[in-house]
Chains A and B, each alone.
Chain A
Amino acid sequence: MVTESAQERWRRLYDAASIRPGKFATMSGIPLAPVYGPSDAEFPGLYPYTRGVHASMYRTKLWTMRMFAGFGTAKDTNARFREIIRSGGTGLSTAFDMPTLLGLDSDDPMSLGEVGRCGVAIDSLADVRDLFAGIDLGTITTSMTINSPAAVMLALFVAQAEESGVARERLGGTLQNDILKEYQAQKEFVFPPRQSMRLVRDTITFTAAEMPKWNSVSVSGYHIREAGSTAAEELSFTLANGFAYVELAGQGGLGVDAVAPRLSFFFNAHIDFFEEIAKYRAARRLWAKWMKEHYSATDERSWQLRFHTQTAGVSLTAQQPEINIARTAIEALAGVLGGTQSLHTNSMDEALALPSEKAARIALRTQQIIAHETNVTNVADPLGGSWFIEELTDEMEREAEVIFAQISKMGEGSMLEGCIRGIEENWFQGRIADSAYELERSFNSGERVVVGVNEFLEGNDDNDLETLRISNEDERKQLARLKEVRHDRDDEQVRRALERLSREASEPDVNLMPALIDAAKTYATVGEMMKALEGVFGRHVEVPSL
């Protein structure tokens, strides 16, 4: 029997794929192959997927240009959503405000000054109804960037969909729901780690059983990098967290092939161009190997690491903000050459304020230039086979394996336990802070140049960029709305629903999703549901360390 070469297997997959119309040639007419390499090389669409998860990559479908938005009241964001849908968008990405992200109601004293500022304020089912008014949740996919109260937000979302006549089986979308990186990096935590992980387990098992089109966790390295980690730390901590969720789902009775295909990933695109590309390639290879070899996954979809990319907020400068357009373009190109499935490009003014409409439009245009003008979408993994990129990819993989071994050791063989103990012992947080400090020192010493910051300062006095101004009007409107909700609902029903939630929270084997959905339907607020859980779970306090 003659065995098929990798190239032949790739060809078979490529020929079976639907290819978007267009001529695949250079600007001057030189025809281009879908991928290059010797017949025994690694190929896209084939294990271990170093060169991409699809055989045809961007010849079938460009990446999704998923721009993250949310501000003010639910009604304001709804108007923005409808505009996105009118202009052909098929996916929504919701940014919540800080109180919502921390499970606080808008009228909590700690919410003062934060309501509707960094995203949309959601207090109850009434707000979720406003947020999705006139939008068919059965046809659009919805991404919700929320973590500590992720289970609560999922419950509100399901309650709203069912109220509008859409069964939960039909709901498609993604919940970020990656609580581990909150303790490690982003620091929007509420409950202690182990109690939080119980909620993640409940959402994973609930969506696996009842919401077949739902991605339960978006495992996020973005925030780890933004908090100051190196590329190898971002890569390894993120994948280790992914392994932890696979093990967690296993404790909930789900096999690896029932959970892994529903995990997606989210990485940073920083300014070191080749290192980032090597990072994405290593991420795919490592995930495939670990899923197949360590976790015995047999479904190919479990091996395939799909990811969203966002350009690096921390690389933007407040000085000469217009030059951030150039930084973002270079970072976005790294994401595309690295084979990302979706991309958010930052706006030039984000070191100064939330993005203005014009700045956000330029950021989207930057993606469109890469997609439609540069011709980089014709050939999969165009840098594959470069001695430099291949060596850097291998080095990323080696560094990540060293860190995996450290995490596994902390957990005595369990990645789940290693990730939790690493958090409890400040191991992740300490490493990230050390890396951030080292990098900052290299800027201060001048060893690393940042244009406009420590070199090339002419032009720093031009401060004529118009930035977005946000008034306190939305906070006032949201408080009035919440008061109305509290007045109109049946308090006795709310009390009973919250009582049930507390009772079930104290039974570790009960899945809390049904109790949360019922509570959502009584107009219990996000803050009330979170307080009921906190009564049982307690609150996480990070020991301040420098």
Chain B
Amino acid sequence: MSVRVLVAKVGLDGHDRGVKVVARLLRDAGMEVVYTGLFQTPETVATAAIQEDVDVVGLSMLSGAHMTLAPLVVEALRERGSDIPVVLGGIVPPHDLDELKDLGVAAVFGPGASADEIVSAITGIVAASS
């Protein structure tokens, strides 16, 4: 069974180059990818992830709101009884990394992360959580 991924843009950040490129690269690696489109809330992402029965949620954030919004997505999933892991890509300052992990974000990919790096991290996270 191939890995199913929901890629999502939460909040007001319209930068969608990264999310689209990563989605295509994940498809190239044989994953099934669903994209939410722009301007989602933590609730709509959690609901979509559960409905689509995905193995992992990938958030893309470049506006600096990740410390507020990424943990809310994790929380919205857990409130709905789901343990789907959440990973994050975008502009994330190094000093935020530890706190994001503590708040339940499974992995963070910065700019320049290679396709191989993202694919193997996601594969590992999905294997560990199932």
What is the bound-complex CA distance between A443 and B27, given in angstroms? 17
B38 within 8 Å of A (CB atoms): yes
Q: B123 contacts the other chain (Cβ, under 8 Å)?
A: no
- Once A188-B14, A440-B25 are accepted as A-B contacts, the answer to whether A463 and B20 lie under 8 Å apart by CB is no
Quick one: CB contact mask for A175-191 with B, threshold 8 Å, 1 for yes? Answer: 00000001000111000
Given contacts A98-B65, A351-B91, 4 further A-B contacts (CB under 8 A): A109-B41, A187-B15, A352-B91, A546-B20
Q: A117-B65, A450-B112, A469-B95 are in contact. Are A436 and B17 (CB under 8 A)?
A: yes
A118-B64, A351-B110, A353-B91 known; A546+B33 contact, CB < 8 A:
yes
Query: What's the minimum C-beta distance from B103 to chain A, rounded to whole angstroms?
Result: 13
- 27 A-B pairs within 8 Å (CB atoms) are namely A98-B12, A98-B13, A112-B65, A112-B69, A113-B11, A117-B64, A188-B12, A226-B17, A227-B15, A227-B17, A228-B21, A317-B112, A318-B112, A319-B112, A353-B64, A353-B91, A353-B93, A432-B17, A441-B25, A444-B114, A444-B116, A453-B112, A467-B95, A468-B93, A469-B95, A544-B35, A546-B27
CB distance from B19 to the nearest CB of A (A): 9
Instruction: Check A99–B12 contact: CB distance below 8 A.
Output: yes
Say how far A493's CB is from chain B's closest CB, in angstroms. 30
Residues of chain A within 8 A of B37, CB atoms compared: 541-544
- Is B77 close to A, CB under 8 A? no
**Are the C-beta atoms of B14 and A187 separated by less than 8 Å?**
yes
CA distance A541 to B39 in the complex (A): 10
Where the two chains meet, the residues of B that have a C-beta atom closer than 8 Å to any C-beta of A are 11-17, 20-21, 23-25, 27, 33, 35-39, 41, 63-65, 67-69, 91-95, 110-112, 114-116
Residues of A with C-beta under 8 A to B16: 187, 227
Establish whether residues B111 and A113, one from each chain, have CB atoms under 8 Å apart when the complex forms. Answer: no
Cβ A118 vs Cβ B11 within 8 A: no
Contacts of B63 in A (CB 8 A): 98, 114, 117-118
Contacts of A104 in B (CB 8 A): 12
Tell me whether B68 and A113 are in contact (CB under 8 A).
Answer: yes
Rounded to whole angstroms, the CA-CA distance of A487 and B68 in the bound complex is: 28
Cβ contacts under 8 Å, A541 to chain B: 37
* Bound Cα distance from A440 to B15, whole angstroms: 16
Confirm or deny: A420 has a beta carbon within 8 angstroms of a beta carbon on chain B. Answer: no
Please judge, given known A-B contacts A104-B12, A110-B12, whether A542 and B38 are in contact too, CB under 8 Å: yes
A112 touches B68 (CB 8 A): yes
Q: A114-B12, A188-B14, A546-B23 are in contact. Are A470 and B111 (CB under 8 A)?
A: no
Please report A residues at the B interface, Cβ cutoff 8 Å.
Answer: 98-99, 101-102, 104, 109-114, 117-118, 182, 186-188, 226-228, 314, 316-319, 350-354, 432-433, 436-437, 440-441, 443-444, 450, 452-454, 463, 467-470, 472, 541-546
Q: Are A113 and B67 in contact (CB under 8 A)?
A: yes
Closest chain-B Cβ to A284's Cβ sits at a distance in Å of: 28
A542 CA to B14 CA, complexed, in Å: 11
How far, in angstroms, from A441 to B64 measured CA to CA in the complex? 27
Which 5 interchain pairs have the tightest Cβ spacing? A113-B68, A187-B14, A544-B37, A113-B65, A98-B12
Cβ distance B18 to chain A, nearest Cβ, rounded Å:
9
Q: How far is the CB of B5 from chain A (nearest CB, A)?
A: 12
Considering the chains assembled together, what is the distance between the CA atoms of A343 and B60 in angstroms? 29
A545 to B41, CA, bound (A): 19
Q: How far is the CA of A175 from the CA of B27 in the complex (A)?
A: 40
How far apart sit A189 and B65, CA to CA, in the bound complex (Å)?
19
Find out whether the CB atom of A467 lies under 8 angstroms from the CB atom of B20.
Answer: no
Cα of A543 to Cα of B36 in the assembled complex, Å = 10
In the complex, what residue of chain A is closest to B23 when comparing beta carbons?
A546
Min CB distance A324 to B, Å, is: 11
Beta-carbon nearest neighbor of B112 in chain A? A453
Q: Is the CB of B21 within 8 A of A110?
A: no
Chain A residues, CB < 8 A from B17: 226-228, 314, 432-433, 436
Max chain A CB contacts within 10 Å: which of B38, B63, B94, B112? B112
> Chain A: which residue is nearest B70 at the CB level?
A113
Q: For residue B97, which residue of chain A has the nearest CB?
A: A463
- The distance from the CB of A438 to the nearest CB of chain B, in whole angstroms, is 10
Inter-chain contacts of B114 with A (CB < 8 A): 443-444, 453-454
Asked if B64 and A470 make an inter-chain contact with CB atoms under 8 angstroms apart, the answer reads yes
A542 vs B65: C-alpha distance when bound (angstroms)? 22
Which of A318, A444, A469, A543 is within 8 Å of B111, CB to CB? Answer: A318
Chain B residues whose C-beta falls within 8 Å of the C-beta of A351 in the assembled complex: 91, 110-112
Most chain B Cβ neighbours within 10 Å, of A110, A227, A319, A352: A352
Which of B38, B69, B91 contacts A113 (CB under 8 A)? B69
A110 to B69, CA, bound (A): 10
Inter-chain CA distance A237–B11, complex, in Å, is 28
Residue of A nearest to B42 (CB): A112
The answer to whether B93 and A544 have CB atoms under 8 Å apart is no
- Contact in complex: A440, B21 (CB < 8 Å): yes
